[in-house]
């Protein structure tokens, strides 16, 4: 079973800046990243780190 990861209000607000049709994918990837670093919550720092990792992977592909 997957670990439950809690989102802070600030991180949820940042997620809402993503168009509705893309939020599910972004939420899934950020939560996967957070579990990978054993984060108990997704705050702005974790959200930004996940975003940076994703952007970095896009540059290298």
Neighbours of 47 (CB within 10 A): 21
Domain assignment of residue 29, yes or no? yes
Domain tally, the chain: 1
CATH number at residue 36: 1.10.8.550
Q: Say which residues have a Cβ less than 8 Å from residue 51's Cβ, sequence separation at least 6.
A: 30
Residue 14 lies in a domain: yes
The answer to whether residue 1 is domain-embedded is: no
CA–CA distance, 1 with 22 (Å, rounded to integer): 25
The parent domain of residue 12 ranges over 6-59
Say if 32 falls within a structural domain.
yes
pLDDT tens per residue, range 35-61: 999 999 999 999 999 999 988 888 876
* The predicted structure's pLDDT at residue 25: 96
pLDDT at position 2 is: 62
Angle, helices 44-59/20-36, rounded to nearest 10 degrees: 100
- Check pLDDT > 50 for residue 1: no
pTM of the full structure: 0.86
Model confidence at 3, pLDDT cuts 50, 70, 90, reads confident
Is the Cβ–Cβ distance between 48 and 15 less than 8 Å?
no
Residue 31 in tokens: 């939560």
């Amino acid at each position: 079973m997957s670990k439950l990861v809690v989102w802070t209000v600030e991180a949820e607000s940042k997620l809402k800046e993503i168009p509705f049709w893309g939020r599910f994918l972004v939420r899934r990837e950020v939560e996967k990243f957070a579990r990978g670093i054993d984060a108990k919550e997704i705050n702005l720092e974790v959200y930004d780190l996940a975003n940076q990792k994703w952007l970095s992977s896009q540059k290298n592909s």
